[in-house]
């Protein structure tokens, strides 16, 4: 602790430094409000922007009233103080945007989970589901079957790096995953389709010319041990299994629209030993 104290010292901002800091924070507050309004317009939503800017302002004012920490060996110059204050403003700006996106993500998910569980919005991978939630929240007047024509992901650019569709999607995925998302469990039917996917069909991927499945294992009359079998299946799945054709923001079912969406099932790294034994048995049958 003493070595840490020796590395830094506290400095109470002067009245002039506080005025300069408030001038800078006020400009950032205005810019934050402007960018948030532009973001909301771009994705066609309403949000309490005033709450976000007020929280940012309060955090900045609280900072100016407390001693700031600077390096012990730094000269006590105006530039040193400005650098420390500017860095703090950047931190508060990032926190404000993160808080805004987190609240918005909660609203998006909580609104979507009111829909019937058989809604198309809940089909597909976690990413697909949450992307559709955002689109549905943005355009509730648009049918999910027509949502392909309303791409809002690339309609907004901003000088605040954290304020992006990708970060909103990340917050939405985090909240939905922690509170609502559940994987399907592999049953005999799903495992049989997985075996077909791994050893026989090469028509599920794009681009087709770059895909090879595990059918080469069937050419060897000596089956690979189950431990190696697991490694090969997981490696192949991680490389290819999460990149099927996507239509209307939903992965296509395998082997056709009446089949299953693999991304809805427990990842192979986490399936039970019983499931592995069933899949391995199907592989052995094909080796005969």
pLDDT of residue 2: 45
> With 70 as the cut, is the pLDDT of residue 97 above it?
yes
> With 80 as the cut, is the pLDDT of residue 76 above it?
no
Query: 35-44, 60-69, 127-136, 223-232: which has the highest mean pLDDT?
Result: 223-232
Average pLDDT value for residue range 49-62: 91
Q: Say how far apart CA 73 and CA 27 lie, in whole Å.
A: 31
Q: Say how far apart CA 45 and CA 234 lie, in whole Å.
A: 40
- The tokens describing 78, both together, are 């105006």
pLDDT in tens, 164-188: 989 999 999 999 999 999 999 999 9
Average pLDDT value for residue range 84-107: 91
Query: In 3D, which of 253, 110, 117, 131 has the Cα closest to residue 189?
Result: 253
pLDDT of residue 284: 94
Task: Specify which residues 205 forms β-bridges with.
Answer: 244
Q: Comparing 235 with 242, which gets the higher pLDDT?
A: 235
CA dihedral 95, 101, 103, 105 (to 10 degrees): -150
Q: DSSP 3-state assignment of 220?
A: coil
pLDDT of residue 112: 94
Confidence of residue 151 (pLDDT cuts 50, 70, 90): low
Q: Comparing 98 with 11, which gets the higher pLDDT?
A: 98
pLDDT of residue 143: 72
Query: In 3D, which of 237, 283, 282 has the Cα closest to residue 263?
Result: 237
Instruction: Express as a percent the part of the chain with pLDDT over 90.
Output: 45
Confidence of residue 210 (pLDDT cuts 50, 70, 90): very low
- The tokens describing 108, both together, are 């998006």
Kindly report which listed range (51-55, 221-225, 248-252) carries the lowest average pLDDT score.
Answer: 248-252
pLDDT of residue 202: 56
Average pLDDT value for residue range 112-130: 92
Residues 188-210, buried b or exposed e (16+ Cβ, 10 A)? eebbebbbbbbbeeeebbeeeee
pLDDT of residue 203: 54
DSSP state of 156: -
Q: Say how far apart CA 148 and CA 43 lie, in whole Å.
A: 15
pLDDT in tens, 256-270: 888 999 999 999 999
132, 147 in Cβ contact below 8 A? yes
pLDDT of residue 160: 84
pLDDT of residue 3: 47
Mean pLDDT of the chain: 83
> With 90 as the cut, is the pLDDT of residue 88 above it?
no
Strands 246-247 and 8-11 come out as unpaired
Q: Comparing 109 with 71, which gets the higher pLDDT?
A: 109
Query: In 3D, which of 183, 184, 212, 214 has the Cα closest to residue 196?
Result: 214
- The tokens describing 87, both together, are 């860095």
Q: DSSP 3-state assignment of 266?
A: coil
How many other C-beta atoms are found inside a 10 Å radius of the C-beta of residue 49? 17
Average pLDDT value for residue range 79-87: 73
């Amino acid at each position: 602790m003493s070595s840490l104290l020796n590395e830094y010292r506290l400095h109470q901002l002067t009245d002039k430094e506080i005025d300069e800091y408030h001038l800078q924070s006020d400009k950032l507050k205005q810019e934050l409000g402007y960018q948030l309004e532009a973001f909301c317009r771009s994705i066609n939503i309403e949000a309490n922007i005033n709450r976000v800017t007020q929280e940012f302002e309060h955090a900045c004012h609280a900072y100016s009233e407390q001693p700031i920490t600077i390096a012990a060996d730094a000269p006590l110059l105006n530039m040193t103080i400005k650098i420390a204050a500017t860095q703090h403003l950047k931190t508060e700006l990032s926190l404000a945007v993160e808080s805004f996106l987190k609240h918005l993500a909660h609203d998006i998910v909580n609104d979507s989970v009111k829909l019937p569980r058989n809604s198309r919005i809940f089909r597909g991978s976690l990413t697909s589901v949450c992307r559709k939630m955002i689109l549905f929240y943005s355009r509730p007047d648009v049918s999910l079957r027509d949502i392909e024509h309303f791409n809002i992901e690339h309609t907004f650019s901003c000088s605040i790096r954290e304020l992006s569709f990708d970060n909103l999607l990340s917050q939405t995925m985090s909240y939905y995953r922690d509170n609502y998302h559940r994987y399907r469990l592999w049953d005999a039917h799903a495992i049989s389709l997985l075996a077909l996917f791994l050893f026989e069909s090469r028509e599920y991927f794009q681009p087709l010319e770059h895909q090879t499945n595990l059918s080469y294992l069937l050419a060897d009359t000596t089956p690979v041990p189950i431990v190696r079998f697991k490694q090969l299946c997981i490696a192949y799945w991680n490389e290819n299994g999460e990149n099927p054709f996507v239509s209307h923001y939903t992965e296509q079912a395998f082997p056709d629209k009446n089949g299953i969406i693999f991304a809805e099932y427990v990842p192979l790294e986490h399936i039970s030993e019983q499931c592995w034994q069933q899949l391995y048995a199907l592989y052995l049958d094909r080796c005969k």
